[in-house]
Amino acid sequence: MTATRLRWWSWIHKWSSLICTIFALLLCLTGLPLIFHEELGPSPAIDEVADSGSRASVDTMIAQALAGRPGEVVPYLFYDREKPIVKIPTAASMTSAPDTFFYKVFDVRTGKALSADQPNEGFIYVMLRLHADLFAGIKGTLFLGGMGLLLAVSIVSGMVLYGPFARRLRFGEIRKRHSHRLRWLDLHNLLGIITLAWFGIVTLTGVINTLAAPIELMWQSNQLIEMAAQNSGQAQDDRKAPVDLVLARVRAAVPGMTVTTLAFPGSPFSTPTHYAAFLTGDTPLTSRILKPAIVDAASGEVVAVRDMPWYATALFVSQPLHFGDYGGLPLKIIWAILDIVTMIILISGLYLWLAKWRSGRAVVDAVGAVPAEPAQ
């Protein structure tokens, strides 16, 4: 590589890193507890009851959830993938923001209401909002996506610069007899190349996750409308089929899969005249990929079942890969260690820039302090 190209790549690496480093550090700090969100988040205590396979009436649970919330509606049902519970949120309207939901949690086997903290409160919720959108909504999410792209540029440019650097040293060598700054440079480069693949994957999947809102909007305006068009359904204010009937018919239409979410008519993920059920499989991969089913709200008949489009599937696959929550606790611990190493890389990179900047300032100050020669 020519000296000119090397300087050019060095300039790209320096400025792409400097611009995004603070935000990358924030994402690493907030992402660390989110790796263990299932262990640290609110989890209701469940009675030890033999699972006979029977399920309590969901309509009865919905009535209980609404009993203490006059004037509110239920926009969704959320089933837990690991535990026999269902979360039933109530809201002021079908289109209310999720952070305004009030949740009631029930045991699906007995229908018993369980005591649980609200998932939109507490430490994990604050960490999630900071990590996802800086409490700034879609603008914050897209801004963090832009920082993620800059971080990707920094990773690629760092990889390019590592080639010429590695020719001068043995792999893993730390020049301990040289200056403090050179030792940190060697450590920065070593940790960076070791974590290169992981850091790149987490950055890429993080950028994909910031596109969740546009991807959801694309699905709603395309596939959801196409599926619902196969049956026009009822008028919005007409009588609706019991939820128990809707769930039974969905499960019969898609055997071998589990309902994880049911969107009620009028919510953003359904239509005014249809329920939308979202199902997953039972393998590590299929448990993360949703399959939607559209149900006529009046009759409870399943109208259409389709696989998600490729762009939505890419989002579903990237989410567990980003947090490492598809391989149990051992993989989460590995993800946490790599996250801490990444923070060391980011902090050392910032230190190296500050040390070089101060060194340059010191040289300028020293030159400026030399008395000028008298005029001849």
The tens digit of pLDDT for each residue in 177-197 reads 667 788 888 888 888 888 999
Q: Is 157 inside any structural domain?
A: yes
**Residue ranges in the chain whose pLDDT is less than 50:** 363-364, 366-376
Residues forming beta bridges with residue 91, ordered by sequence position: 73
Q: Is 19 inside any structural domain?
A: no
pLDDT tens per residue, range 219-259: 988 888 888 888 766 555 567 899 999 999 999 999 999 99
Q: Is 264 inside any structural domain?
A: no
Number of domains composing the chain: 1
Closest residue by Cα to residue 61 from 82, 42, 79: 79
Domain assignment of residue 164, given as a range:
129-210+327-360
Q: Is 354 inside any structural domain?
A: yes
Prediction pTM value: 0.82
Q: Are strands 102-107 and 274-280 parallel, antiparallel or unpaired?
A: unpaired
User: What six digits make up the tokens of 117?
Assistant: 């903290």
Closest residue by Cα to residue 315 from 161, 186, 220, 205: 205
% of the chain exceeding 70 in pLDDT: 90
pLDDT tens per residue, range 57-97: 999 999 999 998 999 999 999 999 888 999 999 999 999 99
Cβ pair 260, 278 in contact under 8 A = yes
Q: Is 169 inside any structural domain?
A: yes
Q: Is 170 inside any structural domain?
A: yes
pLDDT at 363: 47
- With H, G, I as helix, E, B as strand and everything else as coil, classify residue 201: helix
Buried b (16+ CB within 10 A) or exposed e, 23-35: bbeebbebbbbbb
pLDDT at 150: 95
pLDDT at 54: 76
User: What six digits make up the tokens of 342?
Assistant: 């990444």
Q: Is 172 inside any structural domain?
A: yes
Residue in the block written with tokens 């289109």? 95
Q: Is 263 inside any structural domain?
A: no
